Amino acid sequence: MGRKITAIPPKKVMVTERKKVAAYARVSSGKDAMLHSLSAQISYYSSFIQSHGDWKFSGVYADEAITGTKENRAEFQRMIADCKAGKIDMVITKSISRFARNTVTLLETVRELKTLGVDVYFEEQNIHSMSGDGELMLTILASFAQEESLSVSENCKWRIRNKFQEGIPNTFYVYGFKKENDEIVVNEAEAQVVKDIVSMYLEGMGSVKIAKELNRRKIPAPRGDKWHQQTVMGILKNEKNIGDMLLQKYYTKDHISKKTLKNDGKLPKVYVRNSHEAIVSKENFDEVQKIITERTSKDRVSREYDFKGVVFCGICGNRYKRKKNYKKYVWVCNKAHTEGVSECSSKQVPESILSELASGFDKEILKIIVLPENIIQFIFEDGSSIEKKWEKPSRKWTDEMKSENYENLRRRHGNE
């Protein structure tokens, strides 16, 4: 009888892929206590996720000292990108308010992640976004969180405006001064620089040359950087140098975007006289303002130096350059100008409008971005930004312009 050999196949072992879990943490203040809290959250989530054998630790995404707006959170955006790349199956976060203050932003993000199969678990509320009633509960609770945020914001505004009425600034950082025991006192070293700037300007030196002279002397600028024309002009125009204070020059647009806007009359301003010791005499200050007005009205050509290398296109990212258009100057995107509107649809901005919008700031302009829909964003050295809307002036064709245009058309069509 021959041998019978039977092959025994190996047993199929089911391998369950571990769930890729990440965490998101955020604090909205840069204070040491808050940053310590953020560090504690990171440590907690790292241990918590790794303590689950069926979970794979995919990292902790943490944003420091910023608000709950989606666009301003680099780590939040990186987390969303990693979700899209399939690196994350579930996100754990402490609460709805940590994830987003805006109900719309919260729901948009949760729905976006839901389509990717990514669950979001909110610890405090014990809600999974992928659960049957998850979105309904999130909508209700997020609305409460947003209202609470609004209430806190309005209370803060009320407190700040009451302080303004009493002549008390909300914050105070002005070159030439310092705070000691809640009192505004003169910083002697910086005050001497302010006096020198005023003297040089009264002697006929322009703001660009003053900035170059201060850099030549290796004098530190207000934020530790080099001196620029805008820095000098900000000091020359600052009423605090004569011991007065104009309060509420700027205001926060809303509690969600947290954008800072220039107060062009929407809210009342408060002018406080003799609030602190002066650095510059009122006579010299008034004379400086008179000269500034005269120079601004007489010569706009110098604005090229104000904006050169500072203006950028918000569509393609290229720099804007100065161009003469019917004896008036405009600023145009270099790409749109050289390659046409098919490559970049940005608009040209009249220099008169750019000058008008850029005037009056007491902070140094770091960058100017020309955005769609006639919006210009000013980004300052301290990290803050302001958006201003402008209107295109109606073109008035003079006889000279009509004649020049006619001659150009004739030459173009060879009819001379």
pLDDT digits (tens, 9 = 90+) for 369-395: 999 989 999 988 777 888 988 887 655
Confidence band, pLDDT 50/70/90 cuts, at residue 31: very low
* pLDDT value for 364: 75
Token pair 């803060």 in the structure block, residue? 156
Q: Please state, in angstroms and rounded to a whole number, the distance separating the CA atoms of residues 161 and 169.
A: 9
Q: Is the pLDDT of residue 203 over 70?
A: yes
CA distance 332 to 339: 12
pLDDT over 90, % of the chain: 22
**Comparing 348 with 104, which gets the higher pLDDT?**
348
Spatial distance between the Cα atoms of 316 and 68, rounded to a whole number of angstroms: 27
CA distance 134 to 227: 54
Predicted confidence band at 400 (pLDDT cuts at 50, 70, 90)?
Answer: low
pLDDT at site 145: 57
Calculate mean pLDDT across residues 108-116: 87
Mean pLDDT of the residues in the chain:
78
**Residues 211-240, mean pLDDT to the nearest whole number:** 87
CATH architecture label of 167-298 = Alpha-Beta Complex (3.90)
pLDDT score of 354 more than 70: yes
Using the predicted structure, report yes or no on whether residue 300 has a pLDDT greater than 50. Answer: no
Least confident span in 19-28, 163-172, 185-194, 307-316: 163-172
Return the pLDDT at 89: 94
- Residue ranges matching CATH 3.40.50.1390 in the chain: 19-150
Spatial distance between the Cα atoms of 275 and 266, rounded to a whole number of angstroms: 24
What pLDDT does residue 28 have? 60
Cβ partners under 8 Å of residue 122, min gap 6: 93, 94, 95, 96, 99, 129, 138
Query: Is a pLDDT exceeding 90 seen at residue 292?
Result: no
pLDDT of residue 255: 47
Where exactly does CATH 3.90.1750.20 map onto the chain? 167-298
Q: Return the beta strands (E) in 347-384 as ranges.
A: 349-350, 365-371, 375-380
Helical spans, DSSP H, in 128-272: 134-165, 188-202, 207-216, 229-237
pLDDT in tens, 148-199: 555 655 666 556 566 655 555 555 678 888 888 878 888 899 999 999 999 9
Chain-centroid distance of CA 377 in Å reads 8
- Class of domain 19-150 (CATH, top level): alpha beta
Q: How far apart are CA 268 and CA 79, in angstroms?
A: 42
How sure is the predictor about 363, in pLDDT bands with cuts at 50, 70 and 90? confident
